Structure 1
Amino acid sequence: MVKRLVVNDGAHFTEDHPASTQDASDRKIQRRRAIMHMTQRDGALDLLKWLALLSMVLDHLRYIGYSLDLLYVPGRLAFPWFCLAMAANLSRSRQVTHQWRYLGWLILFSAISEIPYRMFIPDPDTLNVLPTLALGLLVARGWQQKTLSSRLLAVAALLLAAVFTEYLMFGVFGVLLPLAMLLVIKRPWYFSLLPGLICLAANQWEVLYYSARLGNSAAILGIATCLVAPLLGMFLLRHTRQITPPPMRRWAYALYPLHFLLLLLVRQIVT
């Protein structure tokens, strides 16, 4: 912008005018670059999601009819890595509409996935994992968005998690894990111990500890995996940006109920 001197009946004052159309053009280019930066795919985040999905499938292979107890160990990576992916998305985008869509997809596929989940998992004690993630999103968003409505929803989500913790996969600690990930995602690596401890608490640490004392190798390795899962996930996010796996977009929500149906088919074939 430049100041142009204007003379009016002996009075002098200045008036703002664009220096040239180049200024407006430069601003448009800068805005476009900012939008491209915000919408650019993060290869490390997509990789984390794919690895979380793989860990979940490995964990659920324990239910196809064979003794595969050691698959419990890589399975402990799935939930904390999904929570870390949620925290990464929240830290990158503060757009309220985007986060409401995120919540909507979680709620929708929570309902869609419940029947396939109960068909595959024998006598489940809890709901599928998506309600836990939906409540966790509300809690993390309430911390991030300092508005009255967001805070009230976060408190309501925490109360629901506390009251119905026995019906939620990973319980109230699982609901707190996305927030813990959000708090440490941009901090030094040693802060990952906090979500690691919460992850361990979410995985029935009393049962794991008792089994570990009896020398159960899966329990011992499971405890270690819970503690280091956030650290490993943060390492992937920070050091694998050059990798470009297939982008995991909204269609990936359908993989959750579909993988139950596919594994159910496998179980019927092999047993």
Structure 2
Amino acid sequence: MHGTETIPVGRVRDGALDLLKWLALLSMVLDHLRYVGLNLDGLYVPGRLAFPWFCLAIAANLHRVRDTPVSGQWRYLGWLLLFSAISEVPYRMFIDDADTLNVLPTLALGLLVARGWQQKALFDRGLALIALMLAAVFSTHLMFGFFGVLLPLAMLLVFRRPWYFSVVPGLVCLAANQWQVLLNSSTPVALMGLAACLIAPLAGLVLLRHAKHVSPPAMRRWAYALYPLHFLLLLLVRKIIA
């Protein structure tokens, strides 16, 4: 992979981006399978790929439409906020001891921050600043915290840098996770989780740049509903096996 190579941009459907989204969704479901009542702690490792790959998908979408009207980005934000609200009850039903909001508010704030860096208009920069302030004040209430909000921007910066700069979003991803616990633990799962956080941005970037000819099912707006629905389905599974 050459450092000056960029992700292809166009109006056609990007199969590699759809594949990234499907893999991120699969990683998320695998991560949440740890809560159905079985001994599946090892799924923590592939689960570390989900959030950075969703952030990379946000960055890829912003990169693709950087020279087009931003109305689609407002719709994107609107869907994130809508399903943030819809998903909160199923999320808390499934994660009994949840001490943060579901992941979609973090992604919505991250979208605003990355978009503000990209658009450079005063209004967009103002929204990005507000998003950063909210992330700082309510960091403990956001899944992946303040650094999670920064991750889409860190991912977006990767598009303009040689591939080895993906270590930057890798470190941001690690900071967004429980890095102290991972570093202090000597268990194989913790060490592999640490590695997964660091390499997830590079792995996603490699996929976007080289899986150019794949054609998975397009992930359109209906896919937002998969987030609350998967909590309900896994809750049903937990009740069945309990």
**Superposition TM-score, scaled by structure 1 size:** 0.84
Aligned to 2:197: 226
C-alpha separation in 2, matches of 1:228 and 1:143? 24
C-alpha separation in 2, matches of 1:229 and 1:186? 18
C-alpha separation in 2, matches of 1:80 and 1:248? 18
Aligned length: 232
Deviation per CA, 1:122-180: give whole Å up to 9, x if none. 21010000000000000000000111110000000000000000000000000000000
- For residue 60 of structure 1, the aligned residue among 8, 27, 32 is 32
Residue 158 (1) aligns with residue 132 (2): yes
Query: Secondary structure of the residue that 2:196 maps to in structure 1?
Result: helix
Structure 1 unaligned runs (5+)?
A: 1-36
Aligned to 2:222: 251
1:39 Cα deviation (Å)?
Answer: 2.8
Aligned to 2:84: 110
- For residue 60 of structure 2, the aligned residue among 71, 88, 96 is 88
Structure 2 unaligned runs (5+)?
A: 1-8
Aligned to 2:51: 79
Aligned to 2:235: 264
Q: How does 1:147-226 map to 2 (within 5 A)?
A: 147-211=121-185, 215-226=186-197
C-alpha separation in 2, matches of 1:39 and 1:128? 32
Residue 43 (1) aligns with residue 6 (2): no
C-alpha separation in 2, matches of 1:170 and 1:176? 10
Q: Which amino acid aligns with 1:81?
A: W
**Superposition TM-score, scaled by structure 2 size:** 0.94
Query: Secondary structure of the residue that 2:84 maps to in structure 1?
Result: helix
1:75 Cα deviation (Å)?
Answer: 0.2
1:189 Cα deviation (Å)?
Answer: 1.4
Structure showing greater radius of gyration is: 1
- For residue 146 of structure 1, the aligned residue among 112, 115, 120 is 120
1:208 Cα deviation (Å)?
Answer: 1.1
1:185 Cα deviation (Å)?
Answer: 2.2
Q: Which amino acid aligns with 1:252?
A: A
Query: Secondary structure of the residue that 2:215 maps to in structure 1?
Result: coil
Query: Secondary structure of the residue that 1:74 maps to in structure 2?
Result: helix
Aligned structure 1 segments of 4 or more residues deviating by more than 6 angstroms: none
